[in-house]
Amino acid sequence: MEIPIETFTLDNGLRVVLSEDHTAPLVAVNLWYHVGSANERPGRTGFAHLFEHMLFQGSESVGANEHFELIQRAGGTLNGSTWLDRTNYFETVPSNQLELALWLEANRMGYLLPAMTQQKLDTQRDVVQNERRWSMDNQPYGTWWEKLPALCFPMDHPFHHSLIGSMADLDAASLEDIAHFFTTYYTPDNAVLSIAGDFDPAAARAMVERQFGPIPRGGNKPPLPDMQLPTTFGEPLREVVPDDVMLPRLFLAFRSPVFGSASYYAASVAGAILGLRKGSRLHRALVRERQVAAEAQAFTYDLTKGSDLLVVDVTGRPETSSDTLESAVNAEIDRLLQEGVTQSEVERAVALIETDLVVALQSAGDRADRLSMFTTYFNDPQLVNVQSDRYRAVTAEQVNAFVRERLVPENRASLLYVPRDSDVAPASSDLAMAETP
């Protein structure tokens, strides 16, 4: 199964990916800017995400919140999201409204600043601070989003600091910061535009040229610092977090090969063997057999620079102490390290991943997002069509090579949440600094 892909690049450097599919009269527009929290300067944590909010506050021809209203009035859905190394904006609209979505994206890429005001910034700062309270501060375990990267990346690494940002840094953000960030990063040559669904390629190309063509390229994007990291942490890292929770929960992270690298796929399969669905090792051993855990799963961050993280996430049962939980999870990792995986386990994992890859291509929005992702990271949208092959080529030997190299004790970072009144001594949260080279 292969999705059709066409690409072209505008003179201003905007890379464009088209993928036709006429099964329904709808079309997805997806724009990735190659900027995320990693690009923030000191004292401005959370700025990339706050900036994402400001992109919905209008531009020269669009009023505050009118972007939302115009798309919804057109019968479309939309949103944006910010990640460590990218920010994306997307709409799915009835196919006759394609140019409206392109116009809105182009208007804010070209003409954002005339619409920026102090009052809008102040309101969105309040909104984002409430987002922080809602998703992290008033949510059991919610702080893992910032504590895990802080534990796993050295202090001065671009992935170390909080994506949502500290309240103080959010307070400090100014209109000058907006202008600077916009001028530096929100340029056509730092973006990828993908269009998937029901459109005529020649007409779509003309629309893209009309709407985005006049926007001048940037070119002053400062390079990120060297992000290379050793393959392991060098020693076990551990942080205990007393929280308003009833059940202990362990996030156990391993440095792993970056997304897209040859060994990434073996790491991803190892993760699936450990924690994808009920047939996975952790679910079978800890949830079903020993009954020390209520839930168990594993995932990768899919970072493309420095180091990826493979994370095992296990929540204990009420009667399970945090010590028992931690040692039970580590015992399963040790067992994997000693015994290795079998061909049969690899087959189960790959079969599930393959179906998931197809399921993920069902909606035009998801398809466009993947095309933008592969183009932003690797300048190659065709990679979307070879993911199944990459997974199918993974052997038990490759998975075991990954396991032997990366699941070792000196490559384990434990972030352990414990009920606040339990008596596990909290370790220093500065442990992450210990391994800074």
Partner 1 sequence: MSPATSTNSRTPTNPPTPRPTPAEPRSYHFPRFEQRRLANGLRLVVAPVTKLPLVTAVALVEAGATQEPEGKEGVATLTAQMLLEGAAGLDGAALADRFERIGASVEAYADWDVAAVTLSAMNTRLPEALALVRDLLRAPTFPEREVARLRDERLAELLQQLAEPRGLADEQFSHAVYEPRARYSMPNDGEAHTVRTITGDDVRAFYAARYQPSAVTLVFAGDVTTDQVMALAEPLFGDWKGEPTSDRRAAADAAQPGRLLRVVAKGDAPQSEVRVGHVGLPRRTPDYFSVVVMNAVLGGLFSSRINLNLRETHGYTYGAFSAFDWRRGAGPFVVNTAVKSDVTGDAVREILGEIERIQREEIGEDELTLATSYLDGVFPIRYETTGAIAGALASLIIHGLPEDYYDRYRERVRSVTTADVLRAAREHLHPDRLRVVVVGDPAVVTAPLSEVTGMSPDMVAAADVEADA
**Binding string, 14-33, against partner 1, x = CB under 8 A?**
-------x-xxxx-------
The window from 148-156, 229-237, 242-250, 328-336 that contacts partner 1 (CB under 8 A) reads 242-250
Q: Of 279-338, which residues contact partner 1 (CB under 8 A)?
A: 279, 284, 287-288, 291, 294, 317-318
For the beta sheet containing 87-94, the strands, ordered from the edge strand earlier in sequence to the opposite edge, are 6-9, 15-20, 191-197, 26-33, 87-94, 77-82
The window from 171-179, 228-236, 327-335, 404-412 that contacts partner 1 (CB under 8 A) reads 171-179
182 near partner 1 (CB under 8 A): yes
Sign of the C-alpha dihedral computed for residues 12, 173, 81 and 225 taken in this order: positive
- With respect to partner 1, which residue has the nearer C-beta, 112 or 266? 112
The DSSP H or E segment spanning 151 is helix 144-152
The HSE-up count of residue 212 (CA atoms within 13 Å, CB side) is 30
How far is residue 324 from each of residues 151, 207, 246, 334, measured CA to CA in Å? 22, 60, 15, 15
Going by C-alpha positions, the residue among 409, 382, 398 that lies closest to residue 269 is 398
Of 39, 97, 322, 372, which lies in the binding site for partner 1, with binding defined by CB under 8 A? 97
Which class for 155: exposed (0-12), middle (13-18), buried (19 or more C-beta within 10 A)? exposed
- State the nearest-atom distance from the C-beta of 10 to partner 1, in Å: 13
- With respect to partner 1, which residue has the nearer C-beta, 81 or 261? 81
Of 106, 150, 152, 383, which lies in the binding site for partner 1, with binding defined by CB under 8 A? 106
Return d(Cα 241, Cα 416) in angstroms, integer: 6
- With respect to partner 1, which residue has the nearer C-beta, 68 or 145? 68
95 near partner 1 (CB under 8 A): yes
Q: Of 264-283, which residues contact partner 1 (CB under 8 A)?
A: 277-279
Q: What is the full DSSP assignment across 180-200?
A: HHHHHH-SGGGEEEEEEES--
- State the nearest-atom distance from the C-beta of 229 to partner 1, in Å: 33
Of 151, 170, 173, 178, which lies in the binding site for partner 1, with binding defined by CB under 8 A? 178
- State the nearest-atom distance from the C-beta of 34 to partner 1, in Å: 17
The window from 150-158, 227-235, 241-249, 263-271 that contacts partner 1 (CB under 8 A) reads 241-249
